[in-house]
């Protein structure tokens, strides 16, 4: 039985989503904070974790402190979505996708939606993007 192009794309995005999830759960929170700091910057990372001092991101990245649970959830969600988009496209596209307005999220930026704690909405939009929808 041969897969259609849509079925192949969905299978590919499902595999990418599974890889992104595995990467996210295996990384330490310091490594996640460092990755996001390196790719999004301290200010953006602080903004979607709902903290006021961007320097705190650097403390997380160096392992000098750990984020509260709510901030850790946001860091892990952002990384997982970032990894999914990067796997399908590129590092630059993943960053642009996270900070740009998204029609599937009522024209809000995915990072803003992550800051609001709506992780599933962002993942649905990311999968749709990867699937070409």
Residue 1, in any domain of the structure: no
Note whether residue 94 is domain-resident: yes
Here the tokens at position 37 are 């700091």
7, part of any domain: no
Q: SS3 for 13?
A: helix
Domain assignment of residue 38, yes or no: yes
Residue 132 is predicted with a pLDDT of 86
Q: What is the pLDDT along the chain (133 residues), one digit of tens a residue?
A: 565 656 555 556 677 777 776 676 778 999 999 999 999 999 999 999 999 999 999 999 999 999 999 999 999 999 999 999 999 999 999 999 999 999 999 999 999 999 999 999 999 999 999 988 5
How many other C-beta atoms lie within 10 A of the C-beta of residue 19? 14
- Token pair 């759960």 is found at 25
Residue 90 has φ and ψ, to the nearest 5°, of -160, 170
Instruction: Count up the domains in the chain and report the number.
Output: 1
Residue 4 is assigned to a structural domain of this protein: no
**3-state class of 108 per DSSP?**
strand
Residue 96's SS3 state is helix
User: Where does 27-118 have alpha helices with state H?
Assistant: 29-40, 42-48, 55-62, 69-88, 91-99, 110-115
pLDDT attached to residue 13: 63
Residue 40 domain-assigned? yes
Residue 108 lies in a domain: yes
- Number of other residues whose CB lies within 10 A of the CB of residue 53: 10
Positive or negative, the Cα torsion across 94, 98, 100, 105?
A: positive
Query: Domain for residue 5, yes or no?
Result: no
């Amino acid at each position: 039985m041969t897969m259609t192009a849509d079925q192949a794309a969905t299978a590919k995005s499902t595999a990418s989503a599974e890889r992104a999830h595995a990467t996210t759960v295996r990384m330490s929170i310091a490594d996640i904070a460092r990755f996001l700091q390196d790719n999004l910057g301290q200010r953006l990372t602080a903004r979607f974790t709902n903290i006021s001092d961007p320097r705190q991101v650097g403390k997380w990245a160096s392992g000098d402190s750990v984020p509260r649970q709510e901030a850790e959830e946001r860091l892990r969600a952002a990384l997982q979505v970032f990894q999914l988009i990067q796997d399908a496209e590129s590092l630059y596209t993943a960053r642009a996708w996270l900070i740009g307005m998204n029609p599937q999220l009522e024209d809000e930026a995915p990072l803003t939606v992550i800051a609001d704690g709506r992780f599933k909405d962002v993942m649905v939009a990311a999968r749709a993007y990867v699937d070409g929808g």
